Amino acid sequence: MTDPLESWRDGEAQQAIADYLARVCDTGSEAFVPVPERVAVFDNDGTLWCERPGFVQAYFVIERLQTMIAERPELGKDPVIGHLAAGDIAGAVSVGGLAGAMQAVAASHAGMTADAFAAEAASWLQTATHPRFEVPFRRLVYQPMLELLDLLRANAFRVFVVTGGGVEFVRAVSEQLYGIPPDDVVGSSVELELTRVGTSLQLVRTSQFRGSPNEGAAKAVNIQAHIGRRPIVAGGNTAGDTEMLEYAHTGRHASLCLVIDHDDDEREYAYTGASFTDPGAEPIGQTAARLGWTVVSMAKDWGRVFPTG
Amino acid sequence: MTDPLESWRDGEAQQAIADYLARVCDTGSEAFVPVPERVAVFDNDGTLWCERPGFVQAYFVIERLQTMIAERPELGKDPVIGHLAAGDIAGAVSVGGLAGAMQAVAASHAGMTADAFAAEAASWLQTATHPRFEVPFRRLVYQPMLELLDLLRANAFRVFVVTGGGVEFVRAVSEQLYGIPPDDVVGSSVELELTRVGTSLQLVRTSQFRGSPNEGAAKAVNIQAHIGRRPIVAGGNTAGDTEMLEYAHTGRHASLCLVIDHDDDEREYAYTGASFTDPGAEPIGQTAARLGWTVVSMAKDWGRVFPTG
């Protein structure tokens, strides 16, 4: 029999996963969890795929803004849009604040139908290339995490992505990247307007966010709104995932909370897990130590980071 | 081989379903639809179960308000709450408007955790009884629709409930009633607040709606927000379902839109499909005639309405 976690090195993290699954999936175990309650949730950026040097979606938005400015140069005079189009996200935040930068991101595809957006995102992701690794972003998913998702599904878990990124963007490739269908992706989104276009009804993207970004407490709230069950397995890598993990951790069942520690500058990146929307929050590594969560060291626990070939 | 639609009488509606499934599921057909795009959505009240003389959830809320008034009699002096607690929904709407009545409904379980609400709803639904049929409400699901859901699943469809009712209320029994897991229910909801209760994180119901009620255009918007794919099969029974059906109808694939016509006062009820939140909208029977949707006559097309035993 092949090892389902073959890219994981022997160690505490791999052992914690194996022990946990034995505890909750063995009908003779005191911690047994019935199948309908086996819900696993994972952050996307930095947990399932590479988020450095910038979010994949940021590159998508930057290209879009560049196209828009080429067509309507006056747009580039807006300092927030100008910085974003130049790939300077920090600059955009410094002049417009986080809210202003995010507003420009939300507005970047306003007026496009949901169907057209999904097609554009899917198409862009087939070829758009990472600046350092020089392969398509879509190949920079973490092989050990793909194996974990498969192992969870083999143990009758339903696996969901719960991302701070745009739900329509991640859905465009979630099936291809992770085997996760569109309805099992929970994320941030813009408001859509039902609009008659010719003889058909289309959903058209507006420039307004729908509720708050899917980070922090919003992740737990949106898990309930969308999934309707408390997860028992949760994985993340920044303080924006802390509430989601603690929500799983404090349910009535035994839980497995995984924190991906980016400590591998050679094969990927080394950085601490600060929140994008709440930079002052406790880094998730400290929370993990406090609450006894399983920390996954990319350098030590993963024999391989990205899929081969 | 048993007839999968055995409670359906031979007739145009039954034939339209069979013809449609042959067209979209036969790999040799020009209208073939790949499995991941086989999405079916159904309204709940009046489409999958009986909604007369009042919504099932209204009885649940009425009982709750009566309990609240017994504990705090001053609440009953509020004219909207007083009418609702007396079972007089029309009276509550006449003094408080639709918004005021719905606000009282939203507030009826404020402060309760999502877990406690789900447990209370599930428990109530096991025993609460219909005033005319004198059986539990949960037994007043439409047997022909249960057979249709099974037939769709046998043809590799994903089946979702898209209800104007409260999502947490319908989820409490969707698996039991329809074989539909909680995450495949889309509905109206109140805002939840992530709250620390002792050492655990709980989601607590507020008295505020989350967005607008899931009726009319909101159904199409929420289908995209939640499911992320345009349905090809849609069923409803009031003008509050019209946009959902037309959204399915105007996609790029062949679609099947079903309108349940309540024309059977003897075995169920006879009424036209007006919208609850937009009473002036075109009754869905007229829309169906205009757009060529399949009208299901409860009196003529269904050999049986409710399950036996």
Supply the DSSP string of A158-172, one letter for each residue.
Answer: EEEEEEEEEHHHHHH
ipTM of the complex: 0.94
CB distance A185–B243 less than 8 Å? no
How far off is chain B from A135, nearest CA to CA, in Å?
28
Write out pLDDT tens, residues B44-102. Answer: 999 999 999 999 999 999 999 999 999 999 999 999 999 999 988 889 989 988 888 88
B238 close to B141: Cβ distance less than 8 angstroms: no
Q: Work out the mean pLDDT of chain B and round it to a whole number.
A: 95
| B185-214 per-residue burial string, b: 16 or more CB within 10 A, e: under 16 | bbbbbbbbebeeeeeebbbbbeeebbbebb
d(CA B238, CA B261): 9
Nearest CA in chain A to B219: A194
Low-confidence ranges of chain A (pLDDT < 50): none
Quick check: pTM over 0.90? yes
Q: For B185, phi and psi rounded to 5 degrees? A: -115, 130
A147 close to A167: Cβ distance less than 8 angstroms: no
CB distance B224–A175 less than 8 Å? no
Mean pLDDT of B111-136: 96
| Chain A residue numbers touching B194 (CB-CB < 8 A) | 217, 220-221, 243, 247
d(CA B33, CA B263): 33
Whether pLDDT at B290 is above 60: yes
Q: Does A175 touch chain B (CB under 8 A)?
A: yes
CB distance A227–B171 less than 8 Å? no
CB distance A227–B182 less than 8 Å? yes
pLDDT value at position A189? 94
How far off is chain B from A170, nearest CA to CA, in Å?
11
The DSSP code for B54 is: S
Nearest to A224 among B200, B203, B227 (CB): B203
Mean pLDDT of B122-147: 97
Best to test chain A binding among B194, B222, B250 (most A CBs inside 10 Å): B194
Nearest to A194 among B114, B115, B217 (CB): B217
Whether pLDDT at B309 is above 80: no
- The SS3 of residue A224 is helix
> CA-based angle A151:A157:A162, to the nearest 5?
100
- For tokens 């909801």, the residue is B189
Q: Is the peptide bond before A53 cis (omega within 30 degrees of 0)?
A: yes
Residue type, A100: G
Q: Is the peptide bond before A279 cis (omega within 30 degrees of 0)?
A: no
| pLDDT-based confidence at residue B1 (cuts at 50, 70, 90) | low
